[in-house]
Amino acid sequence: MHPEIRRLILTWVILMGLTLALGVSGDVAHPSRLSGLWLAVIGLVMVVKARLVLARYLRLATAPSFLSGFTGALAATVSVIVLSFALLHQPLVKPMPGASARPVATAPQ
């Protein structure tokens, strides 16, 4: 197998492994359990995955200044998204004391 093909397949396997790990660690069924630290880890892994795609598949490894520029812009964008989600992800209306968290369904009349 050609070394370039082998490297691309290895990169694909790494990307799929990171995607699987993020799916499990992200706890998609209960996203409210994610802390700020987990959000930062998810953001970091997203930047690493994007850098792998830029460097290996788009061959920006041969143009380090473009790779650095795209990675920096992507890291800044992901940082803003992660920080805004970590800081602003709160319920818009706080439940009243003594009220149940679930809405009460009434029987049809």
Q: Where are the domains of the chain?
A: 3-26+34-87
pLDDT digits (tens, 9 = 90+) for 56-67: 889 999 999 999
pLDDT digits (tens, 9 = 90+) for 44-83: 888 999 999 999 889 999 999 999 999 999 999 999 988 8
Task: Look at residue 29 and tell me whether its pLDDT is greater than 70.
Answer: no
Task: Look at residue 104 and tell me whether its pLDDT is greater than 60.
Answer: no
Of the candidates 59, 52, 46, the one whose C-alpha atom is nearest the C-alpha of residue 85 is 46
The three-state (H, E, C) secondary structure of the chain, written as one string = CCHHHHHHHHHHHHHHHHHHHHHHHCCCCCHHHCCHHHHHHHHHHHHHHHHHHHHHHCCHHHCHHHHHHHHHHHHHHHHHHHHHHHHHCCCCCCCCCCCCCCCCCCCCC
Q: What was the pLDDT predicted at 43?
A: 87
Backbone angles phi, psi at 26, to 5 degrees: -75, -15
Backbone angles phi, psi at 51, to 5 degrees: -65, -40
Q: What was the pLDDT predicted at 98?
A: 66
Q: What was the pLDDT predicted at 106?
A: 62
What is the pTM (predicted TM-score) of this model?
0.68
